[in-house]
Amino acid sequence: MKSTPTQYGSVAITIHWLSAIFILALLGSGFRAASMTDSAAKEEILMFHVPLGIVILLLTLLRMFWWWRVDQKPRPVDGDPAWQRFIAKAIHEPDRVYRRS
């Protein structure tokens, strides 16, 4: 379930992909609801959209707790190109990219 130095664990992978799928579904259903004029149809979409948004919030809190208290990130892959390392660091540790030293 937990990550190893060379591989993400099943919990981290599951949270990651569920979040990705749910966020895409939220974007699709959100834009669809916003463009609807029929209020009954809009309500029907929002009955799916709103609980899914709350699930994403809970998944994100679980993700934060998981990395903070339980799991450890795998090591960066050896030999990856400098541009990939830069982008990964800019997204995951922006303070380290922009910090002057």
Q: Which residue of 11, 15, 18, 50 would you call a contact of ligand HEM, by CB under 6 A?
A: 50
Q: Which is nearer to ligand HEM, 42 or 89 (CB)?
A: 42
Angle between helices 10-34 and 39-65 (to 10 degrees): 160
x/- contact string, 60-79, with ligand HEM (CB under 6 A)?
--------------------
Q: Which residue of 8, 18, 48, 53 would you call a contact of ligand HEM, by CB under 6 A?
A: 53
Q: Is residue 59 near ligand HEM by the rule CB under 6 A?
A: no
Q: CA-CA distance, 46 to 40, in Å (whole number)?
A: 10
**42: buried, middle or exposed (CB in 10 Å: 19+, 13-18, 0-12)?**
middle
Nearest distance, CB of residue 52 and ligand HEM, angstroms: 7
Question: Could you tell me which of 75, 101, 100 has the C-alpha nearest to residue 88?
Answer: 75
